[in-house]
Structure 1
Amino acid sequence: MWKQWLTEALLKTTIRYPSQGRFSPQINRFYINHATSIFPLHKQDITVEKSQLAGLNIEKITPTIQTNEYVILYLHGGGFHIGSLKSHRAWLYRLAQVTQTQVIHLEYPLAPEVPFPTSSESIYNAYLALLESGVDAQNIILAGDDSGANLVLALTQRFIRKQSVPLPRALMLFSPFLDLTLTSRSIRSNQKHDALTSLQFLQKSIHYYTANTNFEADDPRISPLYGDLTGLPPLLIQVGSKSLLLDDAKRLKEMAEAVDITVDYQLYTGMWHNFFMFNEWFEEGKQALVNTRSFIEEL
């Protein structure tokens, strides 16, 4: 318990409290890229290839031993305006290693320089480019954390509306940020408990993402929790009990099950937002990786 208490205190001091300030997105990106360098990079048993997909930079992380034909197309989180290939590199190396599945980490354009809908259009084109490269949709697992999970779910709902783009095999949503109206109860009840993110950070994120647009916060294209979930592929949802966004995940589970979507919902007691990135030091993070592997195997 002392290790968890110390980690939470450190995160609140170095990440959560500074995120409430008036720093520019550019400063926040620089800071997060350096802060996440504390995560050890395990480079064994993988190869990493830098390339592009529809003009966007990617890192293709391929395990030496690949036990399936799936490709995880991953969209990093960061409130739509921070996060990068670097910030999530250690976590995605471990994801590829433990699941023995290839991961394609996509560096999509960030707000406020590229707000919605231009940012999501770039991701849509990247998915089409992956299909055109010869990867079968039934071998694609779309995954993301925080705002990246939002983009994953909104993108899949767009495919269903259009009925002209084949759906991915499954979705994996980690600590998803799905309701930009900020009406989930946990945003208030977990304000003092979440070590990583804050209400002020979420509010800034929404402002950046919807800058100079006429979209309301409950528009399903930016808050996919308000969209039709019918027809979604199987879902994996992982969230910590202390996460500010706990109820975004819980509401998604309940709404998806109501329309007969297969849902593997995993709640990790005592864990904060994006706890899985700390898998090097906490058993809950290690278990989350193992459970992700099990979800993929069961597909």
Structure 2
Amino acid sequence: MKINPLLKQYITESILKSTLRFPSRLNLPPTVLRVALEQLSKVFPQPKNVAFKALRIAGIRAEEIKPQPETTQLIFHIHGGAFFLGSMNTHRAFMSEIALRTQMQVLHLDYPLSPEQCFPDVGEAIYDVYRMLLDQGVLTKDIIVSGDSCGANLALGLALRLRDEDPKLLPSGLMLMSPFLDLTLTSESLRYNQKHDALLSIEVLETGMSHYVPKGIDRSDPALSPIFADLKGLPPTLVQIGSKEILMDDAKRFEEKAKAAGVKVEYKLYTGMWHNFQMFSAWFDEAKQALADIAEFAHKLDRN
């Protein structure tokens, strides 16, 4: 029996608000929320026809997902979770879908979460993994760095550091999904979308920052809030955002500033979608389209 798309969306948003957004606003220990999120992530169907391999790179646990035995193109993904949630388990189904859609291998990390580790140690760990890949012979032209939510923050921060160190170290492209780029929380959409975003709340962002940002550090520092960085010299970048996201203006502001700096940006806005909607491709056409757009962008980089 087919469910009316609007009814299906209403039901999904109601479930997400009651099972994820509301509990995450409570003052619960990070370990409790992490376990709950991993349990809830089991509802995402795990695609078949992909192979998994556990790795440890630069001391960080990682997982390689391959849709075919021979593939040189690599999507280096940094998961979201407001700096204190998320794991390879929560994102495995999503990353498997991306691997299948792009026919590229995906590498995603169990990077250190806060408060166990905070800024700048988290970024250092991710940087060390990237440099280790290069030391192992992976070519920068074969790497696309991607991230969702706070993972997009870390992905952009990584790219900016590589650019400043040596532009030759930059990957072929960036993919920023539902990016959280302004830790000062000055984007207007945080207010006008706070009742509409089914997944993410301002309280969760504030909790995450309290774990991630050491006391006394200015949150407008570009190393923390890359929206305030000089964006010149970045590789081609795909930005995806939903119209109901509290972070919508983070994405829009990045697009405007990056284009003004001469960066090739593809900005995609998906009507009626909430934070990290791409993970719901099993049920929503907008999420399926987002994955198709990711594949198109990745293939375009590969051809170039």
- Find out whether 1:52 has 2:52 as its counterpart: no
- 1:164: how far off? 7.0
Equivalent residue, structure 1, for 2:3: none
1:178-193 correspondence to structure 2 within 5 Å = 178-193=181-196
Preserved CA contact (<8 Å) 1:63 1:101: yes
The 1-side partners of 2:165 and 2:123 are apart by 15
Please identify, of 165-174 and 279-288, the stretch whose mean Cα deviation from structure 2 is larger.
Answer: 165-174
Q: Gaps spanning 5+ residues in structure 2: where?
A: 1-5
Alignment CA distance shift 1:65-1:242 (3 Å): farther
TM-superposition CA deviations, 1:27-68 (whole Å, max 9, x none): 111110101111011122x111001110111110011276x6
Structure-1 separation of matches of 2:143 and 2:270? 26
From 13, 16, 23, give the equivalent of 1:11.
16
- Residue 16 (structure 1) shift: 0.6
Give the aligned partner of residue 36 of structure 2: 31
| C-alpha distance in 2 between matches for 1:164 and 1:128 | 13
Q: Distance in 1 between matches of 2:167 and 2:10?
A: 49
Q: How far off its partner does 1:163 sit?
A: 2.4
The SS at the match of 2:266 is strand
Offset of 1:214 from its aligned partner?
3.1
Distance in 2 (alpha carbons) for counterparts of 1:274 and 1:256: 22
Normalised to the residue count of structure 2, the TM-score between the two structures is 0.95
Q: Work out the CA distance in 1 between the residues paired with 2:104 and 2:165.
A: 29
- Cα 1:92–1:126, aligned 2, differ >3 Å: closer, same or farther? same
Q: Is 1:297 equivalent to 2:299 in the alignment?
A: yes
1:288 to 287, 290, 294: 290
Output the CA distance in 2 between the equivalents of 1:18 and 1:93. Answer: 28
Give the alignment partner of residue 251 of structure 2, picking from 249, 252, 262.
249
Query: Residues 211-268 of structure 1, C-alpha deviation per residue, up to 9 Å, x if partnerless?
Result: 3x43211000010001110000000001100001000000000000001100011000
1:82 is displaced (CA, Å) by 0.5
Aligned to 1:201: 204
| 2:236 aligned residue | 234
Measured in 1, the distance between the counterparts of 2:29 and 2:55 equals 29
- Give the whole-Å Cα distance in 2 for the aligned partners of 1:235 and 1:272: 21
Could you say what the CA RMSD is over the residues aligned between the two structures, in angstroms?
Answer: 1.1
Query: How much does 1:145 deviate?
Result: 0.1
Q: Offset at 1:155?
A: 1.0
| CA offsets 1:118-177 (integer angstroms, 9 cap, x no match) | 111111100000101110011110001000000000111111222276111100000000
Give the SS at the match of 1:23.
coil
What are structure 1's unaligned runs of at least 5 residues?
A: none
Give the structure 2 partner of residue 101 of structure 1.
104
> Could you say if the C-alpha distance between residues 55 and 165 of structure 1 is closer, same or farther in structure 2, counting changes exceeding 3 Å?
farther
1:106 offset after TM fit, Å?
1.1
Q: CA deviation at 1:287?
A: 0.7
Structure 2 residue identity aligned to 1:264: E
Query: Counterpart of 2:281?
Result: 279
Aligned residue for 2:178, secondary structure, equals strand
Q: Which residue of 2 aligns with 1:141?
A: 144
Which one of the candidate residues 33, 38, 46 is aligned to 1:41?
46
Q: Whole-Å Cα distance in 1 between the matches of residues 190 and 231 of structure 2? A: 23
- 1:158 maps onto 2:166 in alignment: no
Aligned mate of 1:64, from 60, 68, 85:
68
Query: CA offsets, 1:69-101, max 9 Å, x none?
Result: 320010000000010010000000000001111
1:217 is aligned to 219
Q: Which amino acid aligns with 1:93?
A: S
- Structure 2 residue aligned with 1:267: 269
